[in-house]
Amino acid sequence: VLMIVFWGFIKNFPGKSIADTASNFLSSKTGVNFEIQDLELGWSKLSTPEISISTPNWLTGPLVRLLILKNVEAPFVSIITSGKANINANLHEGTMQISTELLNSEKLDLSMEEVRIERVPLFALIPYTFVSGFLSLTAHISNFKEIQQNEGHPEGYLRGKIEGTRIK
C-alpha cells in the first residue's frame, strides 16, 4: 500500500509549483536571480534538468545567466544514511557537488572539478577578454548558519587550481 501511495505521489508530483517557490525564495534571500526548471521526483532522488543563476536585480544592464547547472540531482540515500543533503550537478562541462548536514547546517562543502572556464557566461561579461582553461575548486565553510542569518563572513578554507589557462 505504501509503494502504491508513493508511486501515485511521484506521478502527481507538483514539480513546477515547487520549483517556482524555490526560485522565488532563493532570489529574495540572496538578491541573485535563480531559475529552476520543473522538479522531478524519482524513486531514489529529486532532480531537475537545469538551474540557472543570473545577474542580480541591482546590477544595471541586461539580464545575463552567470552559471548554468545541468542535470541537478539530490539523492535520498545520503539523507537517510548520514543525515547529509548532497546535490550533484554538471557545471559547464565539469562536475559540481554541494553537501551540508540537515540537522546542523553549520558546515557547507562545495567542490567543482574540471569546469571549462570559457563555457562560464560570467567571463563573457569582461570586455575585450577571452579566458580559457579548467578550474577545480574545493571550499569548506564552517559557519554557514551565521552567513544565512547575515551575522558574519565566511570562515573555512578555499583550495583550487586552474590548468591550461589562456587569457587573451
pLDDT at residue number 138: 94
For the residues 18-44, what does the mean pLDDT come to? 87
Helix intervals (H) in the chain: 2-11, 15-30, 77-82, 144-148
Query: Using 50, 70 and 90 to split pLDDT, how confident is the model at 2?
Result: confident
Are 38 and 53 contacting, i.e. CB atoms less than 8 angstroms apart? no
Instruction: Please tell me the least confidently modeled range out of 39-48, 65-74, 146-155, 159-168.
Output: 146-155
Q: Distance (Å, rounded) from C-alpha 72 to C-alpha 91?
A: 9
pTM flag (> 0.95)? no
Those residues whose C-beta lies under 8 Å from the C-beta of residue 110, and which sit 6 or more positions away, are: 96, 97, 98, 137, 138, 139, 140, 141
Q: For residues 19, 37, 113 and 46, what is the CA-based torsion angle, rounded to 10 degrees?
A: 50
As given in the structure block, the three cell numbers for residue 49 are: 534538468
In the structure grid, which three cell numbers stand for residue 124, read together?
Answer: 563573457
More confident residue, 52 or 83: 52
Cβ partners under 8 Å of residue 70, min gap 6: 49, 50, 89, 90, 91
pLDDT in tens, 69-88: 999 999 988 888 887 889 99
The residues with which 147 forms a beta bridge, in sequence order, are: none
- What is the phi-psi region of residue 16: left when phi exceeds 0, alpha when psi lies from -120 to 50, beta otherwise? alpha
Count CB-CB contacts under 10 A for residue 99.
16
Give the pLDDT confidence score for residue 149 in this predicted structure.
66
Residue pLDDT, tens place only, 118-143: 888 877 777 788 888 898 999 988 87
Q: Which of 11-15, 73-77, 101-105 has the lowest mean pLDDT?
A: 101-105
